[in-house]
Every structure is written in C-alpha cells, then in structure tokens.
Structure 1
Amino acid sequence: MKLSIGKTATGDNFFLRNDIVHEIYEALEEGQNLLLSAPRRVGKTSIIHYLKDNPTHEYYCVYVDTEDVIDSQTFFKVLLKAIFDIENKNRFLKTIEKAGKKIKGFLSSIDNVEVGGVKIDFNEKADEKLDYYEKFKDFLEKVDLDNRKILLMIDEFPVTIEHIRDEQGEQAARNFLKQNRAIRQNDKYNQKIKFIYTGSIGLLSVVKKLNATADVNDIQTYKLRPLSLKDALELAKTLLENYQIEASEEALTYLLKEKIEWLIPFHIQLAIKEIRDLYRIESREVNRTFIDLAFNELVLNGSIYLEHYRGRLSQVFNRNELSLVHDLLKKLAEYQSVAELELYDLAVKHRLEESFKNILLTLEYDGYIAEATEKQWRFYSPILKKWWSKNV
C-alpha cells in the first residue's frame, strides 16, 4: 500500500474495512436505502468505489457522480446511461456466470439500448421528446433482474439538489426530491433497486433550507466512523513498511492518540508522509521527539493539502455567512472548546441568528468542527486547528 493523498483511494491503496462493508450490505438487505454520512476526507467515495469494484452476487453495482447535473431530466438520463454503461455490464457479467437466462438477456440487450421491453434512445436530438423520469420508472416497472437488485450509488447528490435550486428555483428542487422519494417508496421498484447517496456537503442541511426534510426521512443514515486505534495502527504500519521505516507501536500510538486524535485515513497518510520525508533527511529512530518534529512539519507544510478547507467555505456560504464562519473558526482555533452560547453571540453580532444552527450543522458535516460535549464545540482535528490558527 502506497500513500494516496488528495485522491480517491482504490485498488491496492484502499484500506479495506470489512466491518463497514458488512454493515452497509446488512442495511441494504434489511430493505434500506442509505445516506453514507461522514465529514470530508473520511473515505466515503473510496468505500463506494470498493463496492462498485467488488460486487456481491446479489447486486449489479453502478456508480454515478451527478455533481454537474442541473435539472431533473438530466439526472434520470444520467442514471439510465450509467446502468447501460458497457463497463458496468461487463463487470456484472463476471459475477453471475451461473445466472439465469433472464439476467443475461437483460444485460446483452443493453448493447441495443432496449432493456426488458423498454426502448431508450439516448440520441441528443430525441431528448426533448423524452421524459427520462418516466422512462426510468418504466424501466424499473418492466425489467426482470432474476431476483437480483441494482445498487445505484449516487455521489454528490446534495450538490445536485443545490444546482437544481439555483438554476430552476426552490419548487423545482422540492419536486426533484419528491420524484426520488416516489421511486424509493414504490413497492415494486424497491424490489429491483437500492440507492446509496453520498456527497461532499450534508444532505440534511441542504433539504432543511428547502423545508423538505420529509422527502428524505425514508433514507437511513449510515455514519462512516473514523478508524479504530487497532485499524489506524495497522494502516500506519503498512504505509511505513512500504518505505522500509520501522517505528514502535508505542511511538505510533503516541502519533495517533496524542497528535492526530481524529483517526481518518487522510490525516494518517498526511502524518506518515511527513515522517517519511523527515526520515529521508534524518535517518534515525522514529520516537516521540521525531514524531513531534514531523507533526510540526505537517502543520507548516500542510497548505497544499489543507487549503481546500479554506477555499471550500466560499462555495458553501454566502458573503454574510462567510464572515460569521471565519469568526467562529477563529474563536475555536484559540481554545480547546467553546460553548455554543458564545458562538451564538457571534451569530447575533452578524445578525444571523436564524441561520446559526444550520451553519453549525454544515461545518460539522464538512469536517471542520464537532461537538466535544453537549453544547461545547471544537475543531474535529488538531491538525486542522493548528494549521488554521497559523494560516487564517
């Protein structure tokens, strides 16, 4: 396993968490559609790429990123195209060599763009004549999957909702949510398809702005946890072994528990990179002193990997909200934790009392802050906190 920083970890660079994969499939078998929830950089996209690349016998796994979609019709067209994609078809065929004729017939007919009696023309000139939402439902109505299911994993779903709202208005966004809910709630359809949604912003904060939480309350939230200390140690050791660097378990435990604290693969890899780079200069024992030096280098050199946290704020918040957010994060960078009432006082100062809770929710989902204890907030990560205090 090699360092994989700043990009989705796949293949041999993916740190497999069997418990997470098992729990996701367990929830699907219980009939749930899932929202894979976690702050940025925890590994949501890597997990769904693993599911896509390692499908079980029961599922035809399809991944689609809808970040650039700005209307409902395009959304359902993109979903259909992803299902018909030849790469998905070939991947699934490898998993069902003993499958019945029905499923093989379904897959072979994809080449002719006619599935289960449903003919779908993706010719751009025909787009205006087609209602892709109705076509998607028609497809699910008629296709025979021989008791298997499509597992449709939709990345950047919350961003899609925001784009539709921005381009077509709030009512169009609410209608879009209702269309998706109607598909999930249809007893006939949900025997053939399951959904996993994920994204780089929080779905709940997006739908709250639309007063549409009722349209997603049928989706079960699965919270992707940080690594356990045991798994974090295994990941750190595996990465160091790739660079022929030895470190005692005591030293690595100090790194993980005392320096990193929030044990997500992204931050562990950042720390291991600094240890590797420093070791190449000073080839000596990787002890606590060495780790302290490497951690300081991480904070000093982290802008290339952490700058996106600062830049992302202007994409998520408007100008007034952004001013408050910078004040909130500056306050949190100064202390171990800050009472929510103190943060609320800042919202009052900015005249954003009504937006305050949603701003906290967004910052929490995006991996900036966490509730340390009830009504006390802190930075999720000491790495981000120290970097923020020095660079903002």
Structure 2
Amino acid sequence: MKKWKHPHTITGDAVSGESYLRRPKINDLFWHFVEKGSDVLFTAPRRVGKTSIMKDIEANTPKDYWCIYKDVEGATNKDQFYQRIFEMLIERLSSLKKAKTLFRKWIKKYGIEKIGKDGLKIGRYPSDYYSEVVNLLEELAKQDIAIVLLIDEFVEVILNLKNAGKVEDAISLLHELREIRHKPELKKIIFVYAGSIGLHSVVKEIGRPTLINDIELLPIDKLSEPESKQLIRQLTAEATIQYSEELEDYLILKIEHLLPYFIQLMIQEIDLIAFKRGQGTADMEIINEAFNSVVKNTANFDDWIKRLRDYLGGNFQFVNQVLIHCAHKGKINIQEVYDLAVDAGKTDVYKDLLDELERDGYLIEDRGSYRFISPFIKSYWLHKNPVLK
C-alpha cells in the first residue's frame, strides 16, 4: 500500500510556499501605490489572507525597497505600539548593508546586547519611543533607504485603546502617525496597515475619520473560480486525494464564498475523512460530510463572533439578533431590520451597522434583502443559536 500523502494545507497561521496562492494583481497594485509614495490600507473581510499577502510582500521585495513586517495586535497603549515599531526597525535593519554605519551608532546609543529569534535585548531603553522612532526613520531617510513598514493588526491597537477608555490616546496615535506620513523628509518611508476589523469603522466611532483620509485603500476580495481551482490544485499537488474537474466544481459550489481559509479547511477535512476510511478517492458524499464536520468544529469560526463582541460593544446584541434571524429565515429585509432596531433602540445606527456587516464579510445585500455571504458562517450561527426567539 502506498504511503498516504496529505495536502499542503495550513488553517491556523499565515500561509506561505505551496500553501499560498499569490495574486499578482494585488501585488502589482500594491507596488503601484508604493512607487507613487502612497501609504496603504488593506481593506478586506475576515480570513481573506491579508497577513499572508503582507508576509509574501516582505519575502519578495524589489531590490530598491526594504520591507519590514510586524504584528502589533498585543500593544495596549501608545508607548507599547511605538516600542514594537522601534524594535522592528532595529531587528530587521541590523542586516541591511546600507545601514551598517547607523547600526554601529545604534549599538553604542542603546547598548544593544543581542538580536535574535528571541527578540531584541538592549541595555538602555528609550524614555520616549515615539520620538526615538521618528529619529530612527529620519536617520534612515538620510541614507536614501526606501522602507515599507507592514504593520499588521493596527486596527486592533486603536480598538484596544478605545475599549479601555483611552479614546484621546487613540486619537493622538492617529494624529502622530499622520504627521509622520506627511513629513517631506520621510517620503521614502511607506506605512502599510491591515487588521481584522475595518479601520474606517473604528476611526469613525471615535469621531476622527479625516485622520486616515490620506491613506490609499487596497481592497482584497474573495478568490475567483479560476483562482480557487488553482489553489485546490496547488494544495493537493502529489497528495493522495485528487480532484476531478467535476469534484472541483462541486467543492466550489459547496463553499460558495471563496475565501482561501474556507478552501483550506475543506481540503484538510476531506483528506482527514478519506484517510480515516482508507478511501483513496474523494466524492460528493465526502465533500458534504466534510462541510458538516467543519461547521460543527466551532473553533473554526468562533473568531467571527468574538470580533463582533470586541468592536461593537453595546451594539452587539442588536447585530446578533439580526444575524440569528437571517440564519433561521435565510434572509432579512430592511423593514425587518428596522423593526428589530426599534425594539433595541438602535434606529439611529442600524443602517451603519448593516453596512459594517457587509464590509466585514458577514452579510450581502441581495434584491432588497440581506443574507449570509457564506454558508459556513450561516450554519455556524444556526449551530450556536438553534432557537429563534
């Protein structure tokens, strides 16, 4: 019996290599924005692969640029945010030949003892990380080094500040970053932001939408059918379970909303079911069984409801009722949403909240009504809320 070969699926962390499908149009548009000096905000629904795209950009940077990626989600105050940017600059630029002279200066200034996989160890920590970051960027700019700072989960930092009652700190951080972006001497320093929640929504909530209106938006949509088929074939290259065109079409039909994450989940679950059975081929029955199994494993989708709780605050219960109704009835029209809003005292914000659910990849408007954009998310909401009150 041949050794079973599993697909190249990754369903947790950001993906790379055979598990990652590069989308040339997104990369081309990104570098077009960068080359004209624009700062960039990736806008996309949850689990579309923003982090994977950013890490791919970092790993495949044109020779005239230096890309640095950092996840800043854990920063709970302004100083921690700038500390992460400071460490990100020191750690990554230590290996840049053009910055060797600067790095020797930094070693002396900060008493740098160690840079490695465990992070940065320095003897003298700055008392003001914001000023230090600005100084570092200005020094790098003088060396004519074009740097792209890929700052992932930035939106969560603003949300953390807002939820902790530090709205003024959130506004101050947005002001400071805007000032940095507008410094003429830093025109070769490009800031790129991403997050699992819409930045515009969070900034609008704190009343400062103009602080990010200078940033170029780069939308990332679901995969097309040809891209989905390419990803399926890439993931299953040399795997035991192969897919005929008919099975590819059925799998795509079953997934419907073609996010890379959903495709990875299904390919992985189909392989697991077939492996346990010792069945070396897939069929429609296994695909159906895999769908049900994926939905029942609520850990696959708990993030969708957690994110709503995190950033909707007092609006969560109303939004959740809309989604529960939609899951049970298959759709909800605007009058039904308004009636729920009247009961919940949300008539002043209900339409904005609906728009958010569309932007964040929960619902889609379809001929005057709203329905779940993904059968996975619909089934998850039904599973978590089996009774419609």
TM range (shorter): 0.7 to 0.9
How far did 1:289 drift?
A: 4.1
How far did 1:209 drift?
A: 0.7
**Residues 208 and 123 (structure 1 numbering): CA distance in 2 closer, same or farther, change over 3 Å?**
same
CA offsets per residue over residues 183-210 of structure 1, 9 Å max, x none? 112222123x001101111101100111
Matched, 1:264 2:295: no
**Structure 1 gap segments, 5+ residues each:** 94-101, 115-121
Which residue of 178, 181, 196 maps to 1:181? 178
Question: Match of 1:212?
Answer: 208
**Which runs of structure 2 are paired with 1:206-285 in the superposition (5 Å)?**
206-256=202-252, 258-280=253-275, 281=277, 283=279, 285=281
Q: Is the 8 A contact 2:330 2:371 kept in 1?
A: yes
One-letter code aligned to 2:260: P
Counterpart Cα distance in 1 of 2:144 and 2:291: 52
**Which runs of structure 2 are paired with 1:22-37 in the superposition (5 Å)?**
22-37=28-43
How far did 1:380 drift?
A: 2.0
How far did 1:77 drift?
A: 2.7
How far did 1:351 drift?
A: 0.4
Q: Is the 8 A contact 1:240 1:276 kept in 2?
A: no
Question: Match of 2:316?
Answer: 322
Count of aligned residue pairs for this structure pair: 369
How far did 1:144 drift?
A: 4.2
**Percent of aligned positions that are identical:** 30
Counterpart Cα distance in 2 of 1:366 and 1:195: 22
Counterpart Cα distance in 2 of 1:27 and 1:254: 38
Counterpart Cα distance in 2 of 1:283 and 1:177: 55
Question: Match of 2:67?
Answer: 61
TM-score, length-scaled by structure 1:
0.85
**Which runs of structure 2 are paired with 1:1-392 in the superposition (5 Å)?**
2-85=8-91, 87-90=92-95, 92-93=96-97, 102-107=98-103, 109-113=105-109, 127=126, 130-144=127-141, 146-167=143-164, 169-191=166-188, 193-256=189-252, 258-280=253-275, 281=277, 283=279, 285-299=281-295, 301-318=296-313, 320-373=314-367, 375-392=368-385
CA offsets per residue over residues 298-335 of structure 1, 9 Å max, x none? 33x332312332344332332x4222122111111134
Secondary structure of 1:35's partner?
strand
Q: Is the 8 A contact 2:161 2:169 kept in 1?
A: yes
Counterpart Cα distance in 2 of 1:139 and 1:173: 23
Counterpart Cα distance in 1 of 2:108 and 2:8: 41
How far did 1:238 drift?
A: 2.5
**Structure 2 gap segments, 5+ residues each:** 1-6, 111-120
**Residues 348 and 88 (structure 1 numbering): CA distance in 2 closer, same or farther, change over 3 Å?**
farther
TM-score, length-scaled by structure 2:
0.86
CA offsets per residue over residues 6-42 of structure 1, 9 Å max, x none? 2221344322222222221111112211111111111
Secondary structure of 2:149's partner?
strand
How far did 1:112 drift?
A: 3.9
Secondary structure of 2:377's partner?
helix
Q: Is the 8 A contact 2:41 2:193 kept in 1?
A: yes
**Residues 190 and 305 (structure 1 numbering): CA distance in 2 closer, same or farther, change over 3 Å?**
same
**Residues 107 and 371 (structure 1 numbering): CA distance in 2 closer, same or farther, change over 3 Å?**
farther
Counterpart Cα distance in 2 of 1:32 and 1:151: 11
